[in-house]
Structure 1
Amino acid sequence: MKKFEIKIHNGPGRLGKLEDIETPNIALITSSEIAKDEPAPYDIQKEIATWSVRSTIKKAKDDVREIGVIQGGKYLDLRVESAKELEKIGYNGFLIANGDDLLLHPKDLVDIVINLRQNISPNNYLIFPFAEPSFIPLLCYMGIDGFLNKSAEYYAHLNVLMTATKNYDLNEYKIYDLSYKELKISNENTLDFVLREVREHMKNGTLRNLVEERSLTSPQNVSTLKLLDKKYQDYLQKYTELY
């Protein structure tokens, strides 16, 4: 397993090191590094979600790899159980399944991410697989350490330009006329910039300022921050410096 260590906190946000990569960052992992799992939809009956978790844990134990997948759909108890069982096997890197669905359900997103952070070792790292750039500062603030760049490729296929604050459908907003390859590179550069921005704000103790600024970019972003502040003040204050 890859060594992960926290260098500094800015609020609950974590500036760390995964081997020689500074985090939060794009997690440069291949599909072969991710343990086999039993995918299930986000909004599904609990019996099926439970089966997905049990099957995922068994597969992860039978063929141990670098990253375990946290299944459990919309059910908080199953998500926590999934993470803790994977941790017992020896995993210290976790991929949160159904990330795109979680972004559309702020309450579940906040509850799941915060409770995962509270129930596993702080020396374990969490990867969020699908996130728009405007949401990345808030996810990092909650304790996410890594992201996948598949969203850059996905949006390029849709002819959508990613920016730090908004995504633009280039069929409607004719800002640039870009090929798929050019758009994919541009989107990857945006993800890289936003994560560099987050790390520098962490180093300067101003991540919360960036989070509040970006929270105005979408209703889901606003709702997520409000829920976080309302339900988890103790979690937020635990690592927040008092002046």
Structure 2
Amino acid sequence: MIKKFEIKSHDGPGRIGKVDGELTPRIFFKEELKIAPNQGSAHNIDREIAEFNVKETLKLAKENAETCNIAVIQGSKYIDLRIECLKKLEEIGYNGFIIANGDALLTNSRELVDIIISLKKEAKKTSYFIFPFAELSFMPLLTYMGIDGFLADSANYYSYMNVLQTPTKSYDLNNYPIYENISQKDLEKKNLENMKFVIKEIHVHMKNKSLRNLVEERSGTTPQNISTLKILDKNHMNYLLEYTQIF
């Protein structure tokens, strides 16, 4: 059941690869994935609860390893628990991972950076990572950090909240009625179309080795984007330089 992941090239830590012959970074639809059951939890919870949820997640992942090909990395805000969950899931045989609590991580730049970079450093090179609930303006930066895919469910998630996602900004249509009386279904469709555009944009920049330029351009779109890139540069420069071409 495991989907083979091949790395084709790098632009910084960002990777162009293939999962079962399809180019990454890419959008993943839940119906095409076989996600192992897991014990979900909030991001900011007591450690004892997070430990229990990791234990249950690993148990469920092992029980369903024959029929599932994607596992969820739990551990809440505790980096060591996230790493433990990752490593034991890899031991079970998984190589595709969804990082839990993506929406909460986007509001905490330091934890977002530290968790993703820590997981990337500890993971096997043949493992790939999928980020849920990504805002479109964050997708280039998440790719730059090493994320290989994004769940299409985010288009529905934001449409449910009546939010229009564009490559540079999220619009609450209650306050910015760009589209008046738009149905949730049509809003979801627009969000997904814009998501597909950003993926194409990312691929073109990675092909031209200019992903960092796109990241810096988008870093000014939100305070979270700005702080995330600053923390990434300040605390993880060696990680960024490992695959960056020197001209």
Q: Under a length normalisation based on structure 1, what TM-score does the superposition of the two structures give?
A: 0.97
What runs of 5+ residues in structure 2 fail to find an aligned partner?
none
Query: What aligned pairs does 1:159-170 form with structure 2 within 5 A after superposition?
Result: 159-170=162-173
Q: Which residue in 1 is equivalent to 2:13?
A: 12
The answer as to 2:64 corresponding to 1:70 is: no
Quick one: structure 1 residues 29 and 174, their matched pair in 2 at CA, closer, same or farther if it must change by over 3 Å?
closer
- Identity of counterpart residues, as a percentage? 54
The answer as to 2:124 corresponding to 1:90 is: no
Rounded to whole Å, the distance in 1 between the matches of 2:177 and 2:48 is 47
What runs of 5+ residues in structure 1 fail to find an aligned partner?
none
Rounded to whole Å, the distance in 1 between the matches of 2:64 and 2:154 is 27
Counterpart residue type for residue 244 of structure 2: T
The answer as to 2:191 corresponding to 1:187 is: yes
Counterpart residue type for residue 141 of structure 1: Y
Rounded to whole Å, the distance in 2 between the matches of 1:179 and 1:130 is 20
How many residues were matched structurally? 243
Rounded to whole Å, the distance in 1 between the matches of 2:160 and 2:58 is 33
Rounded to whole Å, the distance in 1 between the matches of 2:72 and 2:63 is 14
Rounded to whole Å, the distance in 2 between the matches of 1:195 and 1:31 is 18
Match of 1:199 among 199, 203, 214: 203
Rounded to whole Å, the distance in 1 between the matches of 2:111 and 2:237 is 17
Q: Which residue in 1 is equivalent to 2:3?
A: 2
Rounded to whole Å, the distance in 1 between the matches of 2:154 and 2:221 is 18
Rounded to whole Å, the distance in 1 between the matches of 2:234 and 2:26 is 28
**Cα deviation 1:121-173 (Å, max 9, x = unaligned):** 11110011111000000000000001111121122222221110001122222
Q: Which residue in 2 is equivalent to 1:225?
A: 229
Rounded to whole Å, the distance in 1 between the matches of 2:133 and 2:162 is 17
Match of 2:220 among 216, 220, 224: 216
Q: Which residue in 2 is equivalent to 1:57?
A: 58
Query: What aligned pairs does 1:105-116 form with structure 2 within 5 A after superposition?
Result: 105-116=108-119
Q: Which residue in 2 is equivalent to 1:134?
A: 137
Q: Which segments of structure 1 move beyond 3 Å, counting only runs of 4 or more?
A: none
RMSD: 1.2
Rounded to whole Å, the distance in 1 between the matches of 2:174 and 2:188 is 16
Give 1:41 shift.
1.0
Quick one: structure 1 residues 49 and 31, their matched pair in 2 at CA, closer, same or farther if it must change by over 3 Å?
farther
